[in-house]
């Protein structure tokens, strides 16, 4: 069974993330120990909350450099919500530097009439990398669930795997760069589409060169 390390840094609903991975056929292992990231077939970084505390909690557990090294190694990695945002250089939400894995900044939604901030609820994906492994049987127009006041603004927009439109703003919903996938929405709360995405991730882990070499 595919063994997935789910990083515990006091910033996420680990139970729902693990339940979603279990439904997808994986064996999640909740951990804050760097060695466990290397022993797993893949790594998931969930997260709910604010940018600065997230970075501080990762730093206090000596996980920042191991996360960078695990991603650089080619091991499959999935970031969820705040777990996407901390991959960037910095955020309008705080003062801490991010992990700097994806060049760019996390920005707050611009206020405008007729939209709510935080952006909370269901929205439709527009796939910009339709061949990404996580999108198998997922199509543009499928609905997923969001809760966020800030969005990712990558320097290189080609890393976007999907976008959404909120009011007049079209923003990042997911990013993909080689073995790294990260989503702003919550797949574990996104009904059949979310479960399909998790199923696809688990299947891609089993087929990855890193997992096959173990």
Active-site residue, from 18, 57, 81, 148? 81
Cβ–Cβ under 8 Å, residues 181 and 135: no
Q: What CA–CA distance (Å, rounded) separates 197 from 184?
A: 13
Cβ–Cβ under 8 Å, residues 5 and 42: yes
> Token pair for residue 39?
């022993």
Cβ–Cβ under 8 Å, residues 154 and 88: yes
Assess whether 69 carries a catalytic annotation.
no
3-class DSSP state for residue 150? strand
Active-site residue, from 57, 148, 166, 186? 186
Assess whether 188 carries a catalytic annotation.
yes
Q: What CA–CA distance (Å, rounded) separates 90 from 99?
A: 8
Active-site residue, from 57, 93, 134, 188? 188
Q: What CA–CA distance (Å, rounded) separates 209 from 214?
A: 9
Cβ–Cβ under 8 Å, residues 159 and 175: yes
Q: What CA–CA distance (Å, rounded) separates 15 from 194?
A: 16
**Which residue has tokens 């595919």?**
2
Assess whether 18 carries a catalytic annotation.
no
Catalytic residues: 81, 186, 188
């Amino acid at each position: 069974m595919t063994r997935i390390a789910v990083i515990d840094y006091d910033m996420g609903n680990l139970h729902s993330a693990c339940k979603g991975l279990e439904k997808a056929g994986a064996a999640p292992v909740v951990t804050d120990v760097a060695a466990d990231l290397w022993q797993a077939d893949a790594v998931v970084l969930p997260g709910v909350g604010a940018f600065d505390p997230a970075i501080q909690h990762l730093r206090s557990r000596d996980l920042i450099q191991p996360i960078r090294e695990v991603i650089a190694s080619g091991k499959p990695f999935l970031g969820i919500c705040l777990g996407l945002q901390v991959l960037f250089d910095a955020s309008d939400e705080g003062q801490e530097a991010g992990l700097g894995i994806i060049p760019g900044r996390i920005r707050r939604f611009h206020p405008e009439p007729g939209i709510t901030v935080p952006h909370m609820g269901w929205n439709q994906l527009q796939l910009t990398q339709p061949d990404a492994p996580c999108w198998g049987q997922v199509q543009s127009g499928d609905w997923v669930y969001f809760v966020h006041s800030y969005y990712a603004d990558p320097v290189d927009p080609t890393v976007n795997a999907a976008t959404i439109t909120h009011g007049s703003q079209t923003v990042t919903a997911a990013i993909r760069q080689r073995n790294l996938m990260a989503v702003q929405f919550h797949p574990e709360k996104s009904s059949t589409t979310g479960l399909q995405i998790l199923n696809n991730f688990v299947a891609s882990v089993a087929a990855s060169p890193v997992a096959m070499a173990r």
